[in-house]
Structure 1
Amino acid sequence: MTNPYGYQAQPGPGYPAQQGYPAPQRRPSGATAIIAAVLGLVLAGTAGYLTIAELFIDMPVAIGLDDLPGGVLTYYGMLAACALFGLVGALITFFRATAGAILLLFSSLLGAVAVFIEPTLWDRLYGRHYEAVFEFAQSEAILRFMIMVLAPLTLILAVLPATFRYLGHKPQAQPIYGPPQGYPPQQGW
């Protein structure tokens, strides 16, 4: 069909389809992954310091590790594993690997479970134990409170879908020839 000037009307831009490269994918936000990694580092430092301080610095010389009951060793083993997994998981998360979020998940679970079942492992009453923790009279109480807060926060941020979306995102490779992605094709060439 022709218009009053005698030639065929051209379709509008984008109809039926635009030529050129497709629009690039939006890069997912890394806020949740980065915050989870930072909290995981703080959690690892807190759990590691608490373990080292109570086992090697504050323990009397006459008492060795083999003198401690099994529940106490289990507690410190869980804290040490929390520190190790938290440190490795945070570093791997900073390098954008999905395994980092999974290690942060394990670390936060170990930290939360260790601190919340500590009275059972030490054969103490829950009420008296948490009274001592929430009085903040000793540095160990402050460290335990920090683990109580940091472990659930790290767990929540590590399992969010936005964290895994950011860690699993791989940008598309640029084509060998042609304009870079995101730029419209040049007209008139």
Structure 2
Amino acid sequence: MEYLLTVTRTKTGLPAVAETGAAGKTKGFARILCRDNGGKKTATYLPQPEEIEDIGHVVFVLQKNDYCIAVERSRTTAYKITVTQFSGTIDDQEQALFELRHSYSGKRWDVMPPEYLQPAIEAAKAKSQAELPAGAWYQTKQPSPPVSPSAPVLKPGDFVPSFLGIRELRQIADDEFSVCLTNGVQFLVYIKECLPKRNNG
């Protein structure tokens, strides 16, 4: 079975979908998105309070194989859950095609979802019960680590003495190192693969 979900576009033209939800005393619904491994997606936009009704709670760039988990709640603990996966296709009407993977109704699954999807499913169920729902399953971009305030700030023309040593070398990412010299200067080093130039002659 296939489902269609309307996408919007980011400023750079990428397809985007929002996490949404609302709840009352007896009914509620929620829609969240997650990665193909069930992990949290990085938010591309967090709407302001006055925008939530029109946009949603969190906006994500849609990627192939992302999951969409939709929950409809009636009464307190009666749920209908649909887990679909983005096929990678978007039609001319800006409708993203999702394929059904798992469905829950009448307290049973047609096909049991994998364990890695359980945290996201539980987050969607909780969102359908929240009277003031907010973003339930997302992460934000991590800012770059600040430079130590004790490190001196060099100005153009400042002289840096020779024969310096490294006081501390700390890896802060797969391709990023923080280096502190013996004179107190601290800087970041990024590792980049360099390929040899081909000799066309």
The two structures have a TM-score, normalised by structure 1, of 0.24
Q: Which has the larger radius of gyration?
A: 1
Question: Which structure is higher in RCO with an 8 Å CA cutoff and minimum separation 6?
Answer: 1
More helix by share: 1
